[in-house]
Structure 1
Amino acid sequence: MVTPYDPNNIFAKIIKGAIPAKIIARNEYAIAFYNIQPQAKFHALVIPTGPYRNFSDFNVNASPKEHHAFWNLTQEVASLLEEHYLEETKDKNLAGFRLITNKGPASGQEVEHFHVHILGGEKLASLNTKA
Structure 2
Amino acid sequence: MSLHGAYDPDNVFARILRGEIPATKVWEDDHVLAFMDVFPQSEGHVLVVAKGSTARNILEIEADELARVTEVVRRVAIGVEKALKPDGVTISQFNGEAGGQTIFHLHFHVVPRWADRPLKGHGHAPMATPEQLQPLAERIRAAMG
CA-based RMSD of the aligned residues comes to 1.8
TM-score (norm 2): 0.72
Q: What letter matches 1:54 in structure 2?
A: N
CA distance in structure 2 between the partners assigned to 1:10 and 1:32 by the alignment: 14
The corresponding residue for 2:81 is: 82
CA distance in structure 1 between the partners assigned to 2:66 and 2:57 by the alignment: 13
Per the alignment, do residues 63 and 55 of structure 1 end up closer, same or farther by CA in structure 2, a change over 3 Å counting? closer
Pair 1:34-2:36 in alignment? yes
Structure with bigger gyration radius: 1
The corresponding residue for 1:13 is: 15
Q: What letter matches 1:81 in structure 2?
A: V
Q: What letter matches 2:54 in structure 1?
A: P
Q: 1:53 aligns with which of 51, 56, 65?
A: 56
Q: CA deviation at 1:29?
A: 1.1
Q: CA deviation at 1:125?
A: 5.8
CA distance in structure 1 between the partners assigned to 2:82 and 2:107 by the alignment: 22
The alignment partner of 2:27 has SS state of: strand
Q: CA deviation at 1:106?
A: 1.0
Q: CA deviation at 1:121?
A: 4.7
- Kindly, what percent of the aligned residue pairs are identical? 28
CA distance in structure 1 between the partners assigned to 2:7 and 2:22 by the alignment: 21
Q: CA deviation at 1:44?
A: 0.7
- Structure 1: tracts of 5 or more residues without a match: 87-93, 127-131
Q: Is contact 1:83-1:95 (8 Å) kept?
A: no
- Structure 2: tracts of 5 or more residues without a match: 120-145
The alignment partner of 1:97 has SS state of: strand
Q: How does 1:81-100 map to 2 (within 5 A)?
A: 81-86=80-85, 94-100=86-92
How many residues are matched?
Answer: 115
CA distance in structure 1 between the partners assigned to 2:66 and 2:104 by the alignment: 18
CA distance in structure 2 between the partners assigned to 1:17 and 1:95 by the alignment: 34
Q: Is contact 2:90-2:113 (8 Å) kept?
A: no
Q: Is contact 2:50-2:106 (8 Å) kept?
A: yes
Q: Is contact 1:27-1:69 (8 Å) kept?
A: no
CA distance in structure 2 between the partners assigned to 1:106 and 1:68 by the alignment: 25
